[in-house]
Amino acid sequence: MNIPTPHIEAKVDEIAKTVLMPGDPLRAKFIAENYLEDVKCFNQVRNMLGFTGTYKGKRVSVMGSGMGMPSIGIYSYELFNFYDVDNIIRIGSAGGMADDIKLRDIVIGMGASTNSNYAVQYQLPGTFAPIADFGLLRKAVEAAERLNIKTVVGNVLSSDPFYNDNDETNALWKKMNVLCVEMEAAALYMNAARAGKKALGIFTISDHVFTGEALSSEDRQNTFRDMMEIALEVAYEQ
């Protein structure tokens, strides 16, 4: 028995088969308090809050991932491999890169390019392409359509550095039609692939890398609700 783990104190059957994963543990708390019923907190280790409740009668969990691929790599690995979670849906903010990506747009990450060496551990004889589960992706698009929420589907960048010393980096990724930049999806997608599980990333554009535009904290809270509701609808259908 591998549970509790060093990072998650939940007991057997305290975590649902589908987990929503924002980076910020306080956003996990917000979702639990505003969208779930019969909520129970299953994790407080390192203040990485995790909750299980029901959404429209369906059991769903939500837990913070922290920032960056090493952090989500740990939590998603333990959820997939030790707690037998089947689906993880990352819900987070991202910086727009493409010219036609605007503030408040919701991007669904079909693929996650990366500048990380995370895949080196697999000793593959080539370059691995981290991609989302198509079933989860299709349900997210359909849920957004039902909710009358516009989404854009495409490639995102999962970056290790937040402050990059190379000023040309973002422009180079933009030339390859990468829609936005975030910091976690590639590791999540790789962990899911290795474990034979399913993963998806849904992102709200909170700022734009090239225009300098950015949402206020109030705008972020209101806009992020759309992303949360899409993810909850996908979780409900699992």
- Domain residue spans of the chain: 18-236
Does position 20 have pLDDT exceeding 80, yes or no?
A: yes
- Whether residue 183 contacts residue 158, with contact meaning beta carbons closer than 8 Å, is answered with yes
What is the distance between the alpha carbons of residues 81 and 153, in angstroms, rounded to a whole number?
Answer: 28
Does position 221 have pLDDT exceeding 80, yes or no?
A: no
CA 204 to chain CA mean position, Å: 11
- Partners of 163 in the β-ladder: none
Omega before 4 within 30 of 0, i.e. cis:
yes
User: Looking at per-residue confidence, does 167 or 78 come out higher?
Assistant: 78
Task: Read off the pLDDT of each residue in 37-41 and give the average, rounded to a whole number.
Answer: 98
Is 165 among the catalytic positions?
no
Closest C-alpha among 218, 97, 238 to residue 159:
97
- For the 18-236 domain, the top CATH level (class) is alpha beta
- Whether residue 178 contacts residue 113, with contact meaning beta carbons closer than 8 Å, is answered with yes
Phi-psi sector, 20: left (phi>0), alpha (psi -120 to 50), beta: beta
- Whether residue 36 contacts residue 54, with contact meaning beta carbons closer than 8 Å, is answered with yes
- Whether residue 89 contacts residue 63, with contact meaning beta carbons closer than 8 Å, is answered with no
- Whether residue 21 contacts residue 76, with contact meaning beta carbons closer than 8 Å, is answered with yes
Does position 2 have pLDDT exceeding 90, yes or no?
A: no
What is the distance between the alpha carbons of residues 54 and 58, in angstroms, rounded to a whole number?
Answer: 5
Q: How confident is the model at residue 1 (pLDDT cuts 50, 70, 90)?
A: low
- Whether residue 37 contacts residue 54, with contact meaning beta carbons closer than 8 Å, is answered with yes
Helix (H) or strand (E) holding 174: helix 169-175
What is the distance between the alpha carbons of residues 134 and 106, in angstroms, rounded to a whole number?
Answer: 17
Residues 95-129 have pLDDT tens digits of 999 999 999 999 999 999 999 999 999 999 999 99
CB-based contacts of 218, cutoff 8 Å, min separation 6: none
- Whether residue 69 contacts residue 75, with contact meaning beta carbons closer than 8 Å, is answered with no
pLDDT at res. 217: 76
When the pLDDT of each residue in the chain is averaged and rounded to a whole number, the result is: 96
Token pair 């976690």 is found at 184
Beta-strand relationship, 198-208 and 87-96: parallel
Of the residues 84, 86, 207, 219, only one is catalytic, namely: 207
What is the distance between the alpha carbons of residues 229 and 198, in angstroms, rounded to a whole number?
Answer: 19
SS3 label, residue 215? coil
